[in-house]
Chain A
């Protein structure tokens, strides 16, 4: 590490940093509408809708035709490749529809997970081949940010050292390539909630994974101010018998990121994983009320946690479209409050008023 060689000019750095700031402007988060064709199949099957391109188009149209109420709640939308080139019923490109509202367009650029041989079912993520050219094209087509998802899991033997280093490395390569094209990389090292591990174990693993991610970012000369992080919140595994409060989830999450994510990272937009819409909002709210100093913006990048109710309201019927859009707007507004720590809703939240966060030393 003796000499610095040129990576980004001052103008390029400024562009990336400003884009990142705009995506996570106070009160705003990200709508993750980048479900692959395969993932959409699962979603549509749940409401009895056929997984046809036209149905996928109509469903995204429901989200994108939300009115001005979402302008103050959504800073960016992540698109799947196919959706980037689709139009509304009136022939308006989705990209234009979104951009004209002052919302930034992002695109999922990874090509899914592939197994790591010799591990216990672990994966890395592919998509680096020709990524530079693809990014250049996406930039021309209106995208200013990208997203790449890596996946790790917790079990007796996992995550292994190989899985951690390999995924961190591939995230750093992706980031480096994006930035060369004026595209802000959203970095997603998801630690899955599958399993019966407790909160503490998830926190430990999340800290190790994030430390590796940021070392890789440094090694690959990534400009941190021009990136966003999309991590899991620190939660117990799905089959864990112990129940934790949102404040405990918040304290564990904020402690983990304070120990690993450099203050230079512009914003952290949490994924919702398997959480319900309400759970995700309440946890995000608790995170923003956690009494530890938090030098980054803490917001959302939700898929299911923004769309579940809308999907259910739609069920593929044209007459339900407006109602479905309303459901989406409602969740967007709630999460806008949550990312400012101002969400007071939630029915099973115990008594309002003082929340007990506990001491940071115990984490």
Chain B
């Protein structure tokens, strides 16, 4: 196990080092699919330069990173590449522990014929390696790392949150979640799955009538809000003003910058009638947070899958998505490899995603450099890419629910007259 993992690590380090030193690094760090106004490295350098000039980085509209990031890079700006590579690797190191946790929760209280649905220890043994490979060797991750986008740091923090939750440490989990929420607001939705997992681990049933439930919930939320407040106040003291709040959170929520990216927001708000702008901003932002409660209710027994779903929804519907965010939830996919037999659209979805990934740079070039296409072409591929991602996520959700159904009802179902049954959603 250690040897293949080391091999994968060495290979990914080599690829990243080669790309860092080549002329492609400059090209990649300017691609709009890989960097966004929130996490571009050029803007971090600009913020540091403004700080050196004596001007607050938040007085302009170029810099939208949190103050902790400025101070982190103030000290390590020369070693930025190493920082990014390290954050990538610690992310991938999570899943060794993660998988062991997952297996422990699978009790054998399932019908007899579902044995083939259960995963053998041998399969499970290889999952951490697959996850590490999926993340480290994913072209999206490599591009994001070479572009030195701070998305990698955000991913690392979320990975730490997942690790600490799975390990059962409520305090660390709350701290990392607060850090992730502080970086970009959307990980707030991971509060629910984190809470559910910890409750499950402590064998507290999710029942509003029980006092144990409320006790733990209040404890966890106090830890979370407390650490969030501490981090925000620390940022205040670092720079001496509250300017960062409208610059970072106001920017994420009100989407003033319409730089094209792979998300749905930019063209929608470029073509929006002024009268309805505020309404649709609210609709689109609520859309990200909206699925938390229904998903939590449906998946309260399966908080790990809930974490995956939430991360996927954030990556698709956030205001400035990049390929680094997509790489985060795609790294989870090998964990659900046992759902492969229930996936319905996987071929179509993978073709759509591959085609769109190939067409993004082509249509960008045609619009911006050749001048022979216009913004509609790029927008169309954006739409298609997001539809592909939505289909992927909902396909996995379908497969998961179907497996759960089979685990409780049996794999080979028969109709009343004995013929083979078909399952539908009704």
Whether A and B are associated in the same complex: the answer reads no
